[in-house]
Amino acid sequence: EISLEIINQNFILNLPSEIQNILSQIKAVSKLLNEKVYLVGGIVRDLILNLPNEDIDIVVENDANNFAKNLSEFLPTAKIRIHDQFKTATIFLENGLSIDIATLRSEYYEYPTALPIVTQGTIKDDLFRRDFTINALAIDISHNNFGKLLDFFKGYNDIKNKNIKIIHNISFIDDPTRIIRACRFASRYNFTIENETHDLILDAIEMGILERLSWNRLKNEFQYILEDKNPSKGILLLNKYNLLKLFHDNIILDKSLLKKLNLANKFKNIFAIKLEYWIVFLLVLTSQLNSKELEIIFLKFGFSKNFINKHKFGIEKRKILLEELNSKNKNSEIYSLLKNIPEEVLILLILESTRENKVKIKSYLFNLKGKVAIIKGRDLLELGLESGPHLKEYIEKSFLIQLDQINPSKDSILKELNLIC
Ligand code: CTP
């Protein structure tokens, strides 16, 4: 028998005031409609962990659509989208927050990896169908019970003890993507996959259950791992379960790959601001593959032709690029060599290069690449040059000169171009 533990600490007070305000409105609608409402999913887990999470996921007992319509009247600037098919709704607020509303449900699977059959259920059913105990907590936000944490499956303890634990024994059979999710949550929070859950993962893998998953679902989960806080740890866990082969047969997590992954993790905070850093991890993970294999993976991830060509070019040529870079010392030379190489590829190059070349690539990324040209076409036209390809050449030349001068100015550049004396 599953026991319900109610923890009376008011976690809601730890939420940002914007979200607390929304929850008060939800409470008011709960009173108006006499509906029971619960806050569920990742936000509850992260509240207990004291980590930020702005995904407001709520479930109501009877009718999500009706609840959403009423709630949106309390939130005048909100936009509402009803998904009739799934009996769910989303409300989008002006401040960028959104609220996902579902009706409590019970789910069962007719056969492994199928989509679940859904029926109406209790809050306990709704939490029981979820992946891990840490994700199966709810906070009652109904008008008459506001703020109570409901813990049917000892999720609170598992959060405190840093355990990833499934709720029932066929969880991984119902939904094999949970195997990859286990690796993701374990790596994100530095939690341990608890013994029984670990054994059930091994059983499910032995049954070949993951081979039945569509590439699309696998891909999404892989991408989530690569996008998560600590991808190298997630990748190590996947490797421990021998799952990198689902990604590609020829990926071997040897010392050198491991070193690159760890370095990529280390560099994340420096570079992640400007680009989709998960692609760097994808490039590192596939750095042992040949260009045909790489192209197949890129296609499977749905990248555009243009993206594939640019990235593949850089990756294929990276040995030669690094060799050439050895002899380039002037800013203009470094710039010209690297300017067409995508940033993610340049970071891969940093991970694979000598100290001298690392410095050069970093200088390109942080300094040269973002420089604004001092000489514009207009300046050259004023000096009497005619527009056309010739002018373009002059503009490029001026920029390269600018990069090599210590204190470049309009005059100093034009002088070097012999356009003024
Ligand atoms: N869930 C599940 N099984 C899955 C996917 C999701 O049981 N295969 C449940 C979990 O209860 C999860 C919730 O649906 O908490 C929301 O799913 P999702 O947004 O994918 O995960 P979060 O826990 O919110 O994690 P994240 O912080 O990565 O968004």
Options 2.40.50.100, 3.30.479.30, 1.10.110.30, 3.90.1720.10; CATH for 171-247 is 1.10.110.30
Measured by CA distance, the residue closest to atom 4 of ligand 1 is 131
249 lines ligand 1 (CB under 6 A): no
Classify the phi-psi angles of 93: left when phi > 0, otherwise alpha if psi is within -120 to 50, otherwise beta.
beta
ipTM (interface pTM)? 0.97
130 lines ligand 1 (CB under 6 A): yes
42 lines ligand 1 (CB under 6 A): yes
Nearest atom in ligand 1 to 127's CA? 11
Collapsing DSSP to helix, strand or coil, 245 comes out as: helix
- Cα distances (Å, whole numbers) of residue 26 to 22, 79, 95, 96: 6, 16, 17, 18
User: What does the block give as tokens for 62?
Assistant: 């009877």
User: What does the block give as tokens for 365?
Assistant: 């990324």
Nearest to 240 by CA among 174, 297, 172, 193: 193
Measured by CA distance, the residue closest to atom 17 of ligand 1 is 41
- Distance, in Å, from the CA atom of 53 to the CA atom of 56, rounded to the nearest integer, reads 8
Cα–ligand 1 centroid distance for 293 (angstroms):
32
What's the CATH number for 273-370?
A: 1.10.3090.10
User: What does the block give as tokens for 209?
Assistant: 């259950």
User: What does the block give as tokens for 308?
Assistant: 């594939």
Q: What is the model's pLDDT at position 1?
A: 42
Decide which of 276 and 331 is more confident.
331
194 lines ligand 1 (CB under 6 A): no
* pLDDT band of 110, cuts 50, 70, 90: confident
CATH class of residue range 5-161:
alpha beta
Cα–ligand 1 centroid distance for 20 (angstroms):
22
pLDDT digits (tens, 9 = 90+) for 405-421: 999 999 999 999 888 87
Cα–ligand 1 centroid distance for 211 (angstroms):
22
Neighbours of 409 (CB within 10 A): 12
Average pLDDT (99-116) is 83
Average pLDDT (181-185) is 97
Average pLDDT (251-268) is 93
pLDDT over 70 (residue 247): yes
The domain segmentation of the chain, as residue ranges, is: 5-161, 171-247, 273-370, 377-416
Q: What is the model's pLDDT at position 6?
A: 65
pLDDT digits (tens, 9 = 90+) for 340-366: 999 999 999 999 999 999 999 999 999
